[in-house]
Every structure is written in structure tokens, then in C-alpha cells.
Homo-oligomer: A and B are copies of this chain.
Amino acid sequence: MPTALDIDRIFRALADGTRRDIVLRAIDAGEGVAELADHYPMSFAATQKHVAVLERAGLVTKERIGRRKVVRTNVEGLRVARRLLDHYEELWRGRIDRMTELVTDTKETPA
């Protein structure tokens, strides 16, 4: 079960356009850090830091292939976030249901 800090890191990591783009590109899992860096108007080191943030959040993994380290997005990380949002929406639906139930009760036992 992910801790609150895990959730913090996941959402924090997703709160940056460059990092979201890296997640997208890394779905096809072919590029190393340097290749990823070529896509962005920043230094290699900056990109490397973004990858590190994603890695700490569990959203990507790195695999050594030759002299490169290929970045691969980890769906399970994404699912942790999605499940939480699903849960929020469930609770929301529950609220609607409770309100409906309340109206029904009122109708069935009118004052």
C-alpha cells in the first residue's frame, strides 16, 4: 500500500510538463536519458534530474542496455494515482446516492 508520501511524490512528479512528456515517450521504451534530453530545451543534467524524480516516484524504471540506460514507464505507478482519483469519484457518487436516498426516505415517510 502506498504511503501518503508516495502519493505526494507521484502527483508532484506528474505536475511538470517535461516529466509528463518523458512518461509518454518512455511508454515505447527505446530512448536513453541522453536521447530523451535531445527533445527538451534544457541541459542534459536537467533532463537527468527529471528522470530521477520520475524514478523516485516509481513512474519509470531504467535498464542498462549497452552504454545507455533505457527509460521505461511503469504503468503500476500511474495506476496508483488513477486508483486514488477513482476512489474520490466513488465517494462523490456515494454522496449523490445518499442524497437521493434521503429524498426517497422523505417521500416514503412524509411528515
Enumerate chain A interface residues (CB-CB to B < 8 A): 4, 7-12, 14-17, 20, 23-24, 27-29, 73, 75, 78-79, 81-82, 84-86, 88-89, 91-92, 95
Contacts and interface: CB of A to CB of B under 8 A. Distances in A.
Contacts of A14: 11
- Copies of this polypeptide in the complex: 2
A78 B92 CA distance: 11
Nearest to A87: B24
Given A82-B86, A85-B78, A95-B27, A8 B4 contact: no
Contacts of A20: 7, 84
Main secondary structure of the interface of A (DSSP, over half): helix
Contacts of A81: 81, 85
